[in-house]
């Protein structure tokens, strides 16, 4: 999941991201108990086909959640694809490629070692490491720098947590599903 991905992978990332946004929104609104917890659309197949259901879901999500949320969802969808088939040696590069443009101008993307996505990734590793591995997990330092210790901890936690769980928690830790956002509860 480096720099270049094909059209089918882009569509799969979009489908995964839209599904994640839809599930989180539905779950958070359901917890509020105001009766507005129906999903925006039916769960999309992760098939890479930009068919009418995917196009309709994209339009509905963009109209309801806004283009910025759809971009965040797309990034999370790309990360989920990484989490489902991890390339453990390239975690920094992959994470920066996926999220960097959401937090920084493209010209600044490669100049920083300490990043917002690094902080979010490390917080997610620590949160899920404690939840899934208990005392067997040694928390890592949350310094925003995705280095060897972060990569090793990711390799340890990801199989215990699952790609879906990890990606959802990462979206939460990155602030993509904040409770002060009326669209997410």
Residue-level pLDDT at 37 = 72
Measured CA angle at 87 (ends 82, 89), to 5 deg = 135
Q: What is the pTM of this model?
A: 0.90
Residue 134 is classified by DSSP as G
pLDDT tens for 12-28 read 999 999 999 999 999 88
pLDDT tens for 164-183 read 999 999 999 999 998 666 66
The per-residue DSSP string of 26-92 comes to: HHHHHHHTSS----SSPPPPSS----HHHHHHHHHHHHHH-HHHHHHHHHHHHHHHHHHS--GGGHH
- Contacts of residue 71, defined as CB under 8 A and 6 or more positions apart, other chains included, come to 102
pLDDT tens for 110-151 read 667 899 999 999 999 999 999 999 999 999 999 999 999 999
């Amino acid at each position: 999941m480096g720099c270049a991905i094909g059209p089918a992978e882009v569509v799969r990332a979009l489908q995964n991201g839209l599904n994640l946004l839809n599930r989180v929104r539905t779950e958070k609104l359901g917890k509020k108990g105001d009766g507005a917890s129906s999903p925006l659309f039916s769960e999309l197949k992760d098939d890479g086909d930009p068919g009418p259901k995917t196009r309709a879901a994209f339009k509905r999500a963009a109209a309801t959640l806004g283009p910025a949320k759809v971009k965040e969802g797309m990034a999370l969808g790309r990360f989920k694809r990484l989490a489902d088939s991890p390339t453990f040696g390239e975690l920094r590069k992959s994470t920066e490629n996926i999220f960097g443009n959401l937090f920084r101008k493209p010209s600044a993307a490669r100049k920083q070692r300490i990043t917002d996505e690094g902080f979010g990734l490390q917080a997610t590793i620590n949160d899920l490491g404690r939840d899934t591995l208990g005392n067997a997990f040694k928390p890592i330092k949350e310094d925003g720098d995705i280095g060897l210790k972060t990569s090793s901890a990711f390799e340890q936690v990801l199989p215990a947590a699952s790609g879906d769980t990890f990606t959802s928690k990462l979206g939460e830790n990155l602030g993509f599903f904040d409770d002060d956002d009326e669209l997410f509860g």
